[in-house]
């Protein structure tokens, strides 16, 4: 019996709100199958239809103030959008997609990688509303005579804002950033068409139209490969371990759920998200330490973060720590503390996830911890104390990592697996 069939059988035995979780699981399995099975082709559409049907029911079980409602809306909006753009279905699909995605991007605590995909889908849907004119037989005359649809300029602006948000995000997903760049080109070409009403008549208008058509064709040609791969709908709210595990640390989704426990603001300073692409390791290192310490003692801050009873740190703090530490390590000049900070960030991310795919983060955290333990000089006592606490947290999450045992060997000069 397939995973989908097992979930369908389970749903047959359930009623009411008890169906919510199995419906979400079924929708994710079907969505995964859709993206693997040539998305956009007619034979793949039944998988997408059934996934949407499952999400339609599941969405109704989440109250307006439920923290998961935004996550469900995100996946639902992406799939409705995919059905409209990939299969040219009814405009109602696009309308539902936009409404759900607008809700999802406004939901608090969406992981940065998830937001990339949400902005991408939302921007494409706004762009599709603006490009409806191009498929019309009256396209040329509408532009030449200034008879453009009401709201077209606003849709271009909304799409542009979505793609610009993607490019401004610190999340490291090159494929999504590349897609945003492509669609920004298209939005720019559409903006030139929209502004034709203010342009000089005659040749100037025709030149703008022809230039826009050329851009659309170029973007379409580059988009073919992106459509074949499909947007990362799997990175929305519910994840498949075997497909996420192979991704690099910066590309893995971060399913944080933050809870306001009334303990006050985060110890992290209120500053813009870190730019992990800076090319000065010293600048990155200072920013990394500042993000963790909040201006206080670095090792005291690390111990506090790794205390089992401590509340989960903000998602953007963990993302910044991981991104900055990887950037410092990639520069080839990482020291013991840099490796320890990377290990801590990966561990915190895995601990918050609480799912099987987090094992890859835990493995990487263990390897970074071992690199921190090995050095030409013995580690200071406060560093060893943090290392041991971190190893205990890793082993509590997954004992197969054997972080404590391997750390002890590394500190003795025997860092084996």
Question: What pLDDT shows up at residue 285?
Answer: 85
- What pLDDT, in 10s, does the model give residues 271-312? 333 333 344 667 778 888 888 888 888 998 898 888 877 777
Instruction: List C-alpha distances in Å: 19 to 2, 56, 64, 72, 359.
Output: 19, 12, 18, 14, 28
261 closest CA partner among 333, 221, 312: 312
Question: CA 412 to CA 406: how far, in whole Å?
Answer: 10
- For residue 241, give both structure tokens: 């371990």
Quote the distance between the C-alpha of residue 173 and its chain's center. Answer: 8
- For residue 360, give both structure tokens: 């890859």
**Alpha helix (H) ranges present in 230-335?**
241-244, 281-293, 298-305, 315-330
Residues with Cβ < 8 Å from 348, sequence gap 6 or more? Answer: 305, 306, 312, 313, 318, 321
156 closest CA partner among 130, 133, 179, 136: 130
Question: What pLDDT shows up at residue 78?
Answer: 94
- For residue 251, give both structure tokens: 């590309």
Quickly tell me which residue has 């997609």 as its tokens: 97
Question: CA 96 to CA 304: how far, in whole Å?
Answer: 44
- Can you spell out the DSSP letters for 183-244? HHHHHHHHHHHHGGGGSPTTHHHHHHHHHHHHHHHHHHHHHHHHHHH---GGGSS---HHHH
DSSP state of 140: H
Question: What pLDDT shows up at residue 196?
Answer: 67
Question: CA 52 to CA 46: how far, in whole Å?
Answer: 10
Quickly tell me which residue has 């303990």 as its tokens: 263
Question: What pLDDT shows up at residue 54?
Answer: 96
**Alpha helix (H) ranges present in 37-173?**
45-59, 69-87, 91-106, 112-131, 139-144, 152-168
Question: What pLDDT shows up at residue 309?
Answer: 76
255 closest CA partner among 13, 121, 75: 75
Residues with Cβ < 8 Å from 17, sequence gap 6 or more? Answer: 61
Question: What pLDDT shows up at residue 46?
Answer: 93
Question: CA 94 to CA 40: how far, in whole Å?
Answer: 15
Residues with Cβ < 8 Å from 402, sequence gap 6 or more? Answer: 366, 395
Question: What pLDDT shows up at residue 307?
Answer: 86
In the chain, what are the domains?
3-234 (1.25.40.10), 273-411 (no CATH)
Quickly tell me which residue has 């948000």 as its tokens: 165
Question: CA 117 to CA 123: how far, in whole Å?
Answer: 10
Question: CA 85 to CA 93: how far, in whole Å?
Answer: 9
Question: What pLDDT shows up at residue 253?
Answer: 38
Count of residues for the chain? 417
Question: CA 189 to CA 111: how far, in whole Å?
Answer: 31
Question: What pLDDT shows up at residue 48?
Answer: 95
Residues with Cβ < 8 Å from 249, sequence gap 6 or more? Answer: 322, 326, 346, 361, 364
Instruction: List C-alpha distances in Å: 357 to 32, 33, 242, 246, 363.
Output: 15, 18, 7, 9, 11
**Weakly modelled stretches of the chain, pLDDT under 50:** 200, 225-279, 355-357, 414-417
Question: What pLDDT shows up at residue 353?
Answer: 59
- For residue 274, give both structure tokens: 């870190």
């Amino acid at each position: 019996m397939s995973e989908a069939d097992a979930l369908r059988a389970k749903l047959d035995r359930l009623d009411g709100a008890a169906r919510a979780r199995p419906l979400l699981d079924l929708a994710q399995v079907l969505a995964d199958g859709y993206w693997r099975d040539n998305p956009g082709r007619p034979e793949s559409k039944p998988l997408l239809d059934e996934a949407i049907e499952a999400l339609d029911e599941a969405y109704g079980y989440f109250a307006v103030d439920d923290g998961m409602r935004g996550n469900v809306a995100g996946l639902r909006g992406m799939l409705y959008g995919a059905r409209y753009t990939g299969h040219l279905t009814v405009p109602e699909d696009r309308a539902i997609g936009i409404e759900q995605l607008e809700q999802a991007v406004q939901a608090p605590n969406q992981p940065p990688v998830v937001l990339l995909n949400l902005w991408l889908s939302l921007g494409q849907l706004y762009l599709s509303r603006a490009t409806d004119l191009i498929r019309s037989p009256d396209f040329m005359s509408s532009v030449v005579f200034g008879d453009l649809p009401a709201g077209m300029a606003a849709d271009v602006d909304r799409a542009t804002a979505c793609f610009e948000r993607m490019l401004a995000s610190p999340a490291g997903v090159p494929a999504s950033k590349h897609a945003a760049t492509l669609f920004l080109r298209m939005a720019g070409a559409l903006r030139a068409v929209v502004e034709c009403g203010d342009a000089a008549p005659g040749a100037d208008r025709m030149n703008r139209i022809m230039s826009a058509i050329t851009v659309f064709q170029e973007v379409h040609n580059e988009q073919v490969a992106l459509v074949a791969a499909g947007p990362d709908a799997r990175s929305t709210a519910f994840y498949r371990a075997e497909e996420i595990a192979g991704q690099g640390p910066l590309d893995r989704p971060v399913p944080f759920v933050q809870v306001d426990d009334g303990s006050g603001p985060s110890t992290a300073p209120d500053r813009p998200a870190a730019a992990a692409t800076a090319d000065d390791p010293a600048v990155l290192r200072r920013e990394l330490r500042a993000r963790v310490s909040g201006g206080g003692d670095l090792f005291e801050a690390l111990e506090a973060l790794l205390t089992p009873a401590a509340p989960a740190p903000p998602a953007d703090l963990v993302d910044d720590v991981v991104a900055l530490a990887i950037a410092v390590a990639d520069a080839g000049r990482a020291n013991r503390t840099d490796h320890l900070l990377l290990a801590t960030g990966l561990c915190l991310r895995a601990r918050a996830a609480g799912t099987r795919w987090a094992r890859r983060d835990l493995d990487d955290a263990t390897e970074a911890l071992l690199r921190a333990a090995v050095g030409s000089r013995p580690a200071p006592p406060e560093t060893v104390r943090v290392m041991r606490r971190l190893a205990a947290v890793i082993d509590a999450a997954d004992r197969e990592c054997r972080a404590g045992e391997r750390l002890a060997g590394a500190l003795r000069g025997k860092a084996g697996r």
